[in-house]
Structure 1
């Protein structure tokens, strides 16, 4: 199954798939309220609204948006009455990164049929497809057998440390804006980037319409990224990295992991090295 689904294809499948809109920038109360209001005003018919600051995340850590444990995952699946045997389509309103995050979590927990709407809600609207302001209440359809977690979808801080000290030849990919990567702009506890990182800002994975570029394989090679070697992707807290990871899957990258803690975790430890470009 292709990771991406086109609006016209989703239109034909509306009655046979589970649809989720993932709200953007939900860590800030004002932004969370705005994202929820946009959904309530108009969304793809039958879509349920997911807030990744509350659902499908680890609520036991101070770090934002970390992947859930099995209990938390089951709680979210029950909340939305997910049928594990029914296809899932996810979309957002912000360049795929939020939809990609939920996609990555569902794949890590073994869902066999999950896709992201290519172009998101914007692409749906551009084709003048129907929208709804009806809030869908979950129908009693929860059906999940034994839940498994594939840890190869994620990297932890020790995996990254091994790269930095030379014990691993895995590639580190930083997808933050160039200003943040260089250290010109302070976004986290300390400025700069993790040593040995390649920087490809996430926006460069997208075309002028906000869709993933068709020629990602050739494009990333210009930055020295080898898609035939393992890649650990990081950003600030794992969200933008999820968008890049989904893009790299479209280019058939061999092995992709997301460092969930990303700069939020790494920069908070003063004993860990950061590089600043001068």
Structure 2
């Protein structure tokens, strides 16, 4: 699977639909302090020439979900991707301002709907230029066939509850940093902590010093918390189902074959006071 594309390879590509999917999330100052902003302003200031900005708060997201960034239906993904100019065979490249998490979220969403895409490894900081600013001419709307059913890359709350209670043998993995597992910093969501029974595999631990995704022995070493579970079901969660997609990307690149993302993550879980959260 070619999930990543280098800046040099993208520079040599002339027919790709390049999408900046950056969203800005402010660091929470107190529990429940959730503030998001479109990354469109950043895109207008500086972007890859010919790219378009997509606001993941409203596009490739279910507006009826009870939590942020709810997963869309495959049919919605197809319609919105076509509206951006995609036709069958169009190479799709996703990038963000550098965290890699937003591009990973979009990649996971498209992948679940059956559409191939690649992530610019390292995001915009890896792009060596040229750069553009201001508006770009919109591509003509394309068309895509009905993608059919979801490819099963998402998990829901009931499934995560069953894993946490030990009713099914799937592995539950938290993609947040250790400070969030310990509950020592404010959370954007209702309550601090992590879901009982989950392992720690922070998304940021899969990014190397150059800002690109780890590979080879470095990736294998970072994935050691789930070592030996290549063919076992793994469900990844985080705060809002975004960083979890970066961890899921790392797992897929590492050869893990049965990975799903808990879409609602702690955004949904922490809102129900009957569901337990623990600290470590």
CA distance in 1, matches of 2:257, 2:34: 38
Say whether residues 1:250 and 2:253 are aligned partners: yes
Bigger mean CA offset, 57-66 vs 135-144: 135-144
CA distance in 2, matches of 1:222, 1:56: 31
CA distance in 2, matches of 1:252, 1:179: 28
Please give the residue correspondences for 1:41-190 in structure 2 after superposition, counting only pairs within 5 Å. 41-111=45-115, 113-124=116-127, 127=128, 129-187=129-187, 188-190=189-191
Q: Which runs of 5+ in 2 are unaligned?
A: 27-32
CA distance in 2, matches of 1:262, 1:30: 17
CA distance in 2, matches of 1:222, 1:30: 32
CA distance in 1, matches of 2:35, 2:173: 31
For the Cα contact (< 8 Å) 1:26–1:52, is it kept in 2? no
Q: CA deviation at 1:216?
A: 1.7
Q: CA deviation at 1:150?
A: 2.5
When normalised by structure 1's length, the TM-score is 0.90
Q: CA deviation at 1:72?
A: 3.3
Matched residue, 1:16: 15
For the Cα contact (< 8 Å) 1:20–1:91, is it kept in 2? yes
Matched residue, 1:4: 4
Matched residue, 1:194: 195
Bigger mean CA offset, 130-139 vs 155-164: 130-139
Q: Which runs of 5+ in 1 are unaligned?
A: none
For the Cα contact (< 8 Å) 2:154–2:263, is it kept in 1? yes
Task: Name the one with the larger helix percent.
Answer: 1
Q: CA deviation at 1:254?
A: 1.8
CA distance in 1, matches of 2:56, 2:64: 14
Bigger mean CA offset, 69-78 vs 168-177: 69-78
Q: Deviations over 1:89-145 (max 9, x none)?
A: 11101321001111111111111x310000110000xx3x21112522332241201
Say whether residues 1:37 and 2:24 are aligned partners: no
Which secondary structure does the structure 1 equivalent of 2:221 belong to? helix
For the Cα contact (< 8 Å) 1:217–1:227, is it kept in 2? no
